[in-house]
Amino acid sequence: MVNYKRNQVEEAISRVFDEQSAEPSSALRTRIKRLLDSDRALGRSPRASDPMLTHYAFYSSESPGRGADVSFSDYEAFALMLGLQMLSHNWPQSFAVKTLRRYRSSLEARHAKILKLDREKLFDRTQIMANARPGSLAYNTTSPVFLLIWSDNRYAKDPAAVAPSAEILDEEARAISYTRRPGRSTTWLELSNPAHVLAHELSKTLPRQRGRS
């Protein structure tokens, strides 16, 4: 398993988000730092029955202490990118972190399967166009996978007031069925395309020595 330093993760996510600066923006770095700090602040209890308390969202282990480098796996970099996407959909930061903790096992397993898919087949433009149907959503992949988040009371002051739920789905029709309940609000995050794009961008980064700008 390849591990990456934080500068590599920031640079790769910046490229996926198509930031125009040569380096990741300060705004992006700040949002990543807040997600990481929030994850650490929650702590964890490996023997807890609630998976939200068992796993970190973005780390594999406890903090190594001041002055030590922290590395991130392919999946943990991907989870950080998902967290940023959830913030862009106006979900609260605490909800993003807790959701990625609660669903880490299933998301990490699905991410591993996605990265094993043949890129040529996954991004075959001819097949993507052949799969397109009038009135259906368009995807840049032949095998879309969705993280669907929904809440039935988004009219409340707190958009996460009624404990939203999430599920990983392979079928658009099944995902759409979750949106049909009156008053339900949903967020769709397609996973296959960004997982491969981020992995490609990570492969082009280089670790930066501590103390260098």
Ordered by start, the domain boundaries in the chain are: 3-203
Residues 6 or more apart in contact with residue 21 via CB below 8 angstroms? 14
Q: Are the beta carbons of 102 and 83 closer than 8 angstroms?
A: no
- Say how many CA atoms lie within 13 Å of 77 toward its Cβ: 32
Q: What angle do CA 96, 39, 155 make, to 5 degrees?
A: 25
Residues 80, 64: Cα–Cα separation, whole Å: 19
Residue 111 DSSP label: H
Q: Are 196 and 115 in contact, with CB atoms under 8 Å apart? A: yes
Instruction: Give counts: helices (H), strands (E), the chain.
Output: 10, 5
Please give the Cα distance from 189 to 195 (Å, whole number): 11
pLDDT tens-digit readout, 158-186: 554 445 678 888 877 777 777 777 767 78
pLDDT of 161 reads 44
Helix (H, G, I), strand (E, B) or coil at 6: helix
Structure tokens at 127: 């097949």
Give me the pLDDT at residue 67, please: 64
Give 148's contacts (C-beta < 8 A, 6+ positions apart).
166, 167, 168, 169, 175, 178, 186, 187, 188, 189
- What whole-number distance in Å separates Cα of residue 148 and Cα of residue 174? 10
The per-residue pLDDT for range 57-78, each reduced to its tens digit, is: 999 988 776 766 789 999 999 9
The pTM (predicted TM-score) of the whole model is 0.87
Do you know the residue count of the chain?
213
* 85-132 pLDDT tens trace: 999 988 889 989 999 999 999 999 999 999 999 999 988 888 888 877
